[in-house]
């Protein structure tokens, strides 16, 4: 772990004019099977009241500004194969396997009931977690994701994630990130790259989710999650962006409303990574559903 990984938080506060002081925070490593660890960032020393799961290619730091604004005990996890977590035994994007490991973390830390937040890949994982451990949840928040995600709609996001295998420099990674996120501030994108990049022994730079060799086994096929969503006994809030590259379609919103007629749909100003485009809006949603 980098000793200075929290040094950029003051920059987050200044950029978003946040007045709350920096809370205590620490990097955790939770054993999931005796051999591997899932890592995360604990905000405040008290047991987490919010647990957050990021999207593919991201890590726990993607929620930094949101959690600075929220000011409540929280745990932002690095999914397996991402950030500081060890690799999944079956591949980088196994929704079923990731859910198994997140459940192990919740059980190991005896967390709950919490607001569970899942963005993109993390949202699909969170649906399975909620299905398996409903007693540990008070509310599920899906950030710009539904079970009906359309690969065509997600093409812009996937094009960025499926880019070069390695880079000459950190600055090259920053430049590519800026090209794919023209509406975001350069400072916020640079912070994201710093938190999400590492240099290999050969001098080349890679994303943290690319640091492991491909797994020999394919991930378990993702099940149809619409029935799981419909059957959940906890309230669910769907939050989506109002512009591209949001991956949530009008048809998916209609499907969500049909299956969860009593639950809320919230539109925020942004694209797919709402915690980056509108972190204060995401914090307001969490404050509302969690009663913070």
Please choose, from the candidates 215, 217, 216, 171, the residue with its C-alpha nearest in 3D space to the C-alpha of residue 194.
171
Task: Write out the two tokens for 260.
Answer: 């969860």
The span from the CA of 173 to the CA of 171, in Å, is: 5
- Active-site choice (272, 273, 277, 278): 272
d(CA 278, CA 137): 24
Residue 234: closest CA among 145, 131, 144, 143? 131
> What contacts 244, CB < 8 A, 6 or more positions away?
156, 271
Rounded Cα distance, 94 and 219, in Å: 5
Going by C-beta distance under 8 Å and a sequence separation of 6 or more, which residues neighbour residue 17?
none
Residue 240 is a catalytic residue = no
Q: Which of 273, 244, 239 is nearest to 256 (CA)?
A: 239
Six-digit token string for 91: 């591949």
Q: Is 144 a catalytic residue?
A: yes
The alpha helices in 206-270, defined as continuous H runs, are 226-231, 250-259
Q: Which of 39, 85, 88, 120 is catalytic?
A: 120
Residue 154 carries which DSSP code? T
120 a catalytic residue: yes
Q: What is the CA radius of gyration of the chain?
A: 18
List 64, 78, 86, 144, catalytic entry: 144
Q: Provide the annotated active-site residues.
A: 120, 144, 272
């Amino acid at each position: 772990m980098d000793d200075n990984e929290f040094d950029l938080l003051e920059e987050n506060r200044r950029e978003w004019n946040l007045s709350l002081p920096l809370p205590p925070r620490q990097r955790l490593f939770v054993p999931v099977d005796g051999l591997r660890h899932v890592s995360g960032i604990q905000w405040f020393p008290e047991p987490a009241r919010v647990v957050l799961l990021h999207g593919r290619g991201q890590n726990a730091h993607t929620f930094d500004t949101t959690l600075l604004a929220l000011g409540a005990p929280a745990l932002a996890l690095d999914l397996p194969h991402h950030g500081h977590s060890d690799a999944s035994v079956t591949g980088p994007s196994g929704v079923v396997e990731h859910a198994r490991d997140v459940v192990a973390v919740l059980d190991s830390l005896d967390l709950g009931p919490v607001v569970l937040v899942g963005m993109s890949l993390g949202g699909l994982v969170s649906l399975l977690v909620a299905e398996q451990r409903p007693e540990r949840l008070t509310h599920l928040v899906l950030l710009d994701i539904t079970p009906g995600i359309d690969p065509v709609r997600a093409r812009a996001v996937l094009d960025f994630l499926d880019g070069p295998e390695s880079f000459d420099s950190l600055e090259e990674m920053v430049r590519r990130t800026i090209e794919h996120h023209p509406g975001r501030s350069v400072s916020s994108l640079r912070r994201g790259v710093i938190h999400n990049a590492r240099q290999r022994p050969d001098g080349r730079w890679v994303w943290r989710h690319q640091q492991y060799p491909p797994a020999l086994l394919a991930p378990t096929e993702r099940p149809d999650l619409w029935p799981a969503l419909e059957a959940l006994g906890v309230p669910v809030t769907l939050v989506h962006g109002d512009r591209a590259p949001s991956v949530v379609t009008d048809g998916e919103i209609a499907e969500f409303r049909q299956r969860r007629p009593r639950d809320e749909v919230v539109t925020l100003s942004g694209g797919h990574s709402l915690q980056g485009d509108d972190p204060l809006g995401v914090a307001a949603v969490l404050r509302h559903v969690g009663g913070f």
